[in-house]
Amino acid sequence: MGLFSRGGQTGRERRAMQDHLRELDEMRRRNLGELGQMTVEMASAGSFDRRRLSEQAAEVAKIDREADLIARGLEEGLTLQELEDLARGADGAGPA
Amino acid sequence: MRKGALKKKQRQLEDLLLDRREALGELVLGMYVQNAWDDDLLARGAAEVAEVENELSELIAGNEPEGPSTTEKDFPVTGEYRLPTGEHAYPTTGEYTAEHAVPATGEYTAEHSLPGSAEHTAEYTAEHELPDAPDEEPKLSRAEKKAAKKAEKERKRKEKEEAEVPPAEPATPPAASAPAAPAPAPKPAAPAPAAKTPEAPAAPAETAKDPAKKPIAVPPPPAPPAPEPTDPLDILEKQITDSEARAKTAMEAAKASTNADAKTELTAITREVESSRSLLDQSLEKAAAAIAAAEEKASRAEAKLVRETAAGREAAAEWVRGQAAEIEADAALAAEMTGEPGAAPTAPGEPDPVLSARVASLEAELAAEKASKEEALTMAAARLKEIEQAAKLAEARVEAAEAAATEAQNQAKETAAPAGGSGSATEAEAREAAVNWLRGQISALRQEIAKGDESGKETGGN
């Protein structure tokens, strides 16, 4: 808290963020399920292709980072513009 | 089994399959983040998912599965799961109630005394809430919060299920719950002391009534393997530890990348130096080639000059010889004319006017011829002087070229000295031979010039 004022965020922005967060949750679950299924298939084939697993896991990690950012925007009441600046690392710290 | 029960079972299995897939995905994600791959663990996780898949397919096919269903087994949601065993039924966090089965070893019974501290008697019983988390909780990521929420949900679901199922016999643990597993024991480093002594709720009351009652002598349990955490706090703690480990790994990776950058920079500088050195070598070779080309050009120019000089001198000598022959022929003609016997049948002592006129004209012509020849000789002498001057100039040029060649030879020797090798030696020899040839040419030129002088003097004498 304290980096940005809470008053900047409009209700529409908040709803948009919440919707996006839900979408990201769904996407994360789906990707994790796909990752698990891929692992099961590899196990039945007898060898694990770490490159493919890493690619899929990197997708999930990306979704996690984005979801963290959106959650932070909701917690701190950031506007979409501030969130974009944060995502671009305009505050010097960069997104988590 | 009734149709409704089958449907419910199928739904449960489907949910479980999804959960296990996600948990396996979480496991892979954790391995990816920490960059610590464990194929064995992956295979075990995949086997658990495959187990549920098989059971579900059996159920869909109409075959009722035999034995305990996978839905009845515990399956932590955090990804650090292992093969389900009997220990999973005993959480380590202090939510032990009378409904829990007593472990197979019989170590933990109601006869055990609680620790002496008063807080353990009242605070941590089944009816009590777990101690609150500290005020300053570390900020968790969304995924961690979600995992904690899910764990909480799972725990509630299990509690609900346990409440529905009639409690097992407290004295005799079920055989399926501990199949050849190590003796379940609480986590040694668990924060709650209740975890050390999971007992029935009647125990505190008894202890309170009879504090002097001593525990029976039970050998200390063997050091058990650390059980998988199922409590949200433990899960959070583990996740925090994982996050710290992750941060540490990232820090080490950053350090390694910094070192790699430095090495890369050093390599780049070395390459730059090498390329500069090769460029320098190339420019030196080019300079040497340019010097050699200049030397060759100079030698060709000298040869051309020598040829031109020789040709000019030859032409002058030819011309002089022609002039001399003409003069001789004229002189012979004049002598013939003067000594002609039957020239005119005139009286002796009386000059023939025609002849005299002709002689006069011839004499005049001879004089004119002589004058012109003298003039030509003068011109030839001047030309010879010019040729001499040119020859001197050529000689000077040849000397300069010789000096330049010597200098170039010295330079070549200096250049070739560090390199060494037979190629440079042969080149020096060739240059030496060229200089010798040049010297021979110069001496020949000098002889030619001397000959020209002599012939000029002879021509001047005529």
Helical ranges in B97-231 per DSSP H: 119-122, 142-164, 202-209
Residue B146 and residue A25: Cβ atoms within 8 Å?
Answer: yes
Q: Which residue has the tokens 């899910």?
A: B150
Residue A68 and residue B32: Cβ atoms within 8 Å?
Answer: no
Residue A39 and residue B46: Cβ atoms within 8 Å?
Answer: yes
Distance of CA B137 to the CA centre of its chain: 46
Alpha carbon distance B13, B52 (integer Å): 7
Chain B interface test: which of A3, A22, A27, A32 (most B C-beta within 10 Å): A32
Task: Take residue B69 and report the two structure tokens written for it.
Answer: 């269903």
Residue pLDDT, tens place only, A47-77: 999 999 999 999 999 999 999 999 999 888 8
Alpha carbon distance B28, B37 (integer Å): 8
Alpha carbon distance B114, B92 (integer Å): 16
DSSP of B268-300:
HHHHHHHHHHHHHHHHHHHHHHHHHHHHHHHHH
Q: List Cβ neighbours of B130 (8 Å cut-off, separation of 6 or more).
A: B93, B94, B95, B192, B231, B233
The verdict on B37 touching A (C-beta cutoff 8 Å) is yes
Residue B43 and residue A43: Cβ atoms within 8 Å?
Answer: yes
What pLDDT does residue B210 have?
A: 47
Alpha carbon distance B322, B329 (integer Å): 10
Using DSSP's 3-state secondary structure scheme, residue B192 falls into coil
What pLDDT does residue B428 have?
A: 72
Residue B22 and residue A25: Cβ atoms within 8 Å?
Answer: no
- List, for chain B, all residue ranges whose pLDDT scores fall below the cut of 70: 1, 64-139, 165-229, 339-351, 412-413, 415-427, 452-453, 455-462
Residue A64 and residue B23: Cβ atoms within 8 Å?
Answer: no
Neighbours of B328 (CB within 10 A): 11
Using DSSP's 3-state secondary structure scheme, residue B228 falls into coil
Of residues A39 and B73, the one with the higher pLDDT is: A39
Residue closest to B243 by CA, chosen among B135, B93, B138: B138
Residue pLDDT, tens place only, B44-94: 999 999 989 888 888 888 776 666 666 666 555 454 544 444 444 444 555
| Average pLDDT of every residue of chain A | 84
Residue B42 and residue A33: Cβ atoms within 8 Å?
Answer: no
How far from B300 is each of B168, B304, B309, B449, CA to CA, in Å? 117, 6, 14, 21
CB A58 within 8 A of CB B31: no
The verdict on A3 touching B (C-beta cutoff 8 Å) is no
Q: List Cβ neighbours of B354 (8 Å cut-off, separation of 6 or more).
A: B344
DSSP of B419-443:
H--HHHHHHHHHHHHHHHHHHHHHH
ipTM for the complex shown: 0.83
Q: Is the full-model pTM beyond 0.80?
A: no
Name the closest residue on chain A to residue B146, using Cα atoms. Answer: A25
Residue B112 sits at the vertex; the CA angle it makes with B109 and B115, to the nearest 5 degrees, is: 135
Which residues of chain A are within 8 Å of residue B146 when distances are taken between CB atoms?
A: 25
What pLDDT does residue B24 have?
A: 93
Residue A40 and residue B43: Cβ atoms within 8 Å?
Answer: no
Alpha carbon distance B108, B114 (integer Å): 11
Residue A87 has pLDDT above 50, yes or no: yes
Name the closest residue on chain B to residue A60, using Cα atoms. Answer: B29
How far from B95 is each of B32, B49, B105, B115, B269, CA to CA, in Å? 34, 28, 20, 17, 65
Q: List Cβ neighbours of A75 (8 Å cut-off, separation of 6 or more).
A: A1
Neighbours of B362 (CB within 10 A): 17
The verdict on B68 touching A (C-beta cutoff 8 Å) is no
End-to-end Cα spacing for chain A:
15
The half-sphere exposure of B279 on its side-chain side, counting CA atoms within 13 A, is 6
Alpha carbon distance A78, A5 (integer Å): 7
How far from B282 is each of A6, B125, B277, B407, CA to CA, in Å? 68, 88, 9, 22
What pLDDT does residue B265 have?
A: 82
What is the radius of gyration, based on Cα positions, of chain B?
62
Residue closest to B1 by CA, chosen among B70, B58, B64, B46: B64
Which residues of chain A are within 8 Å of residue B18 when distances are taken between CB atoms?
A: 33
SS3 of B290-357: the string is HHHHHHHHHHHHHHHHHHHHHHHHHHHHHHHHHHHHHHHHHHHHHHHHHCCCCCCCCCCCCCCHHHHH
What distance in Å separates residue A12's CA from the closest CA in chain B? 22
CB B32 within 8 A of CB A57: yes
The half-sphere exposure of B359 on its side-chain side, counting CA atoms within 13 A, is 14
Helix or strand (DSSP H, E) at B121: helix B119-122
